[in-house]
Amino acid sequence: MMDTRIGSLRLALTFLVLCALTSLSFGQKVQITKSIPNIVDAPSASVAPIFFNSVNITCAKLNGSPDPAFSHIVKNDSVTLTGSALNGVHNFTDGTDRVVDGPEDATVQFTIASTASAVTSWTSQWAITAVIIRYASGSWAYPYKPYATGDTDLNPGEPGSIVSVVLCYDNVGSTAGDGAISGRVVDSNGLGISKAQLILINGNTGEARIVMTNPFGFYNFGGLDVNELYILNVSHKRYSFPEKQRIVSLDDSLTDVNFMADPRE
């Protein structure tokens, strides 16, 4: 009985500390819905891009490379898009100007935004271990160790136009948990806000994770343990949020955990 009381007291103290650190205010309850499976997110140590004097660099070649920058790549799975079909939301299936070499799933998506010569941002609901940007003069490979679900400003400075982009993926991803929290950050007109920062804190362990919204305002946290209490905060340097914090009891994956912003005065 004494051990049970001590354990309960420690949990209560941990929660009170987190409340103090985050200026905790209880937000509205969030409707629980089923989410797309296997959504993942993880902190990644992005390695500096590496140039190859070849336009035919593939995920299989990175997997077989002796370079330690690619030591985390253990699969050849890839999706390739040509330059004319880069921008927009895609799924992991073969399609027009899109070739998948690996497991396919029409319910799992990735997005790409680009200019003629650079990828301005990408996000993915499967773990990405590397992104390859092919030009006429060669290829630039961006490794993500162990993996990532988004990045911005992939601009190696090549003067030519992008020929194709390859995403090396892992549809298994993190094994930390099966839960996910995802949603969108929008302005008062319903338009997505890019590069809003979201911080997710596990109320039991104190572990914090950070992601940024993509150009369309979407974000996701994956690989979460269910049956945990999470504190979710949003911020942006050009916007204020009437409701900037949510308290989420994660019994199952959550979608549409959305935030609406007002411009800063």
Helices (H), the chain: 2-22, 59-63
- pLDDT score at 4: 46
Residues 119 and 224 both lie in one domain: no
3 by Cβ neighbours in 10 Å (0-12 / 13-18 / 19+) ranks as exposed
In a domain, 2, yes or no: no
Q: What are phi and psi of 16, to 5 degrees?
A: -65, -40
Residues 32 and 53 both lie in one domain: no
In a domain, 138, yes or no: yes
- pLDDT score at 177: 60
- pLDDT score at 171: 73
Q: What are phi and psi of 168, to 5 degrees?
A: -85, 125
In a domain, 214, yes or no: yes
Q: The domain spanning residue 181 has which CATH number?
A: 2.60.40.10
Which tokens go with 230? 């999470």
Residues 28 and 57 both lie in one domain: no
> Per-10-residue mean pLDDT for the chain, 265 residues long?
46 43 34 27 57 95 92 92 88 93 90 94 88 96 85 90 95 59 93 94 83 92 83 93 88 87 79
In a domain, 80, yes or no: yes
β-strands 259-260, 245-250 pairing:
unpaired
Residues 161 and 79 both lie in one domain: yes
In a domain, 244, yes or no: yes
The pTM (predicted TM-score) of the whole model is: 0.53
- pLDDT score at 31: 28
Instruction: Show Cβ contacts of residue 21 under 8 Å, excluding neighbours closer than 6 positions.
Output: none
In a domain, 15, yes or no: no
Q: Look up the domain containing 236 and give its range.
A: 21-36+177-263
Among 170, 204, 232, the domain-final residue is: 170
Residues 212 and 138 both lie in one domain: no
- pLDDT score at 34: 24
- pLDDT score at 208: 86
Among 170, 187, 205, the domain-final residue is: 170
In a domain, 9, yes or no: no
Residues 158 and 56 both lie in one domain: yes
CA–CA gap between residue 201 and residue 197 (Å, rounded) = 13
Residues 109, 91 contacting (CB under 8 angstroms): yes
Could you give the number of structural domains in the chain? 2
- pLDDT score at 191: 94
CA–CA gap between residue 190 and residue 261 (Å, rounded) = 9
Residues 162 and 190 both lie in one domain: no
CA–CA gap between residue 90 and residue 86 (Å, rounded) = 9
Which tokens go with 156? 């190696």
Helices (H), 25-79: 59-63
- pLDDT score at 213: 93
